[in-house]
Structure 1
């Protein structure tokens, strides 16, 4: 099972589109889309009510995934709040859902760096969570509004080819 996680809640976001393109490039697999529309992490809430059901579902999806693709938008030169919040919540669940999970981080952004800072910040968080980050040529879709068709396909062959390379490496990591 391939789990895709977009750090943007907006249905039409370029990072959601990038997750869909990545899943297609990954090849045949059951694809599950992670939902990051979670309450803000609050230790008082956790103590009073425990782990919210939506957080536990996400942690279970991560734990059950064979591989994970995270698309990290860049907001004000950093990781999106919803993505950081989700990683913080999942870190509070029993076990370590991300431990050893083959994971690729990609990004799409309006700016000219394609979300580079957010991508590196996301990978730094994932290292702490012991995810198996699959390295390779970075997928940094810059000027994203010009790089996707109206149907959500990547129009730039260079980005698409790099994404296919990363998805092949992710698939190989599962078999290893």
Structure 2
């Protein structure tokens, strides 16, 4: 891509861990080289997202929430990478989904294609959290990608200097990212079709 060209596809990446040395954030940090040159990926941190409070949920939500929702609204698709806590998704990720899901059924998440990944130091790769993440996204009318799970086991051994370096894992994720981009392209084509515009 030339210097004066802008990416035509925008992806927002969200880590389910706010730990400084998070393995999940390291995985997300490693994805840009796997993407075509016309696709940009932005990692949106959840560090400052407050616990969901309906009293604060209105036209002027907390600033960090407004930034999150704006990033999701401007994205063509989402990439989530989460650890597994006690057989489920971390509260910080569920909290972010709850905030981003407002207003109900008309939020920035509605219709947004999403690739779900998990990563764990254990042998299961955090896969048990994926069903919870998928259900939460489906409840917002987002479009979680239906595919073989991306569950990265023994993740700490696959990361060096804050980046995922395991070639086999990167290749597998690259295929999943390609499927996410295909889904985004199919949705865009459907929205531009004469049939869609006549509905």
TM-score of the pair, normalised by structure 1 = 0.90
Specify which of 101, 106, 113 is matched with residue 112 of structure 2: 101
Larger relative contact order, structure 1 or 2 (CA cutoff 8 Å, min sep 6): 1
Gaps of 5+ in 1: none
Change (3 A) 1:151 1:90: closer
How far did 1:50 drift? 4.8
Change (3 A) 1:148 1:90: same
Distance 2:167 2:112 in 1: 29
Specify which of 59, 64, 68 is matched with residue 78 of structure 2: 68
How far did 1:72 drift? 1.4
Change (3 A) 1:131 1:46: closer
CA deviations over 1:59-91 (Å, ceiling 9, x no partner): 111111011100011112111111011011112
RMSD of equivalent CA atoms: 1.9
Maintained 8 Å contact 2:112/2:142: yes
TM-score of the pair, normalised by structure 2 = 0.80
Change (3 A) 1:172 1:152: same
Which segment drifts farther, 34-43 or 161-170? Answer: 34-43
Maintained 8 Å contact 2:114/2:143: yes
In structure 1, the partner of 2:24 is 15
Q: Aligned runs of 1:125-140 on 2, under 5 Å?
A: 125-140=136-151
Maintained 8 Å contact 1:59/1:93: no
Distance 1:175 1:50 in 2: 33
Distance 1:122 1:90 in 2: 14
Q: Aligned runs of 1:81-100 on 2, under 5 Å?
A: 81-93=91-103, 95-100=106-111
Change (3 A) 1:154 1:93: farther
- 1:26 partnered with 2:26: no
Which segment drifts farther, 112-121 or 90-99? Answer: 90-99
Specify which of 159, 166, 188 is matched with residue 148 of structure 1: 159
Distance 1:151 1:74 in 2: 19
Q: After the TM superposition, which segments of 4 or more aligned residues of structure 1 sit over 3 Å from their partners?
A: 44-47
In structure 1, the partner of 2:52 is 41
Which segment drifts farther, 92-101 or 61-70? Answer: 92-101
Change (3 A) 1:172 1:160: same
Which of the pair has more CA radius of gyration? 2
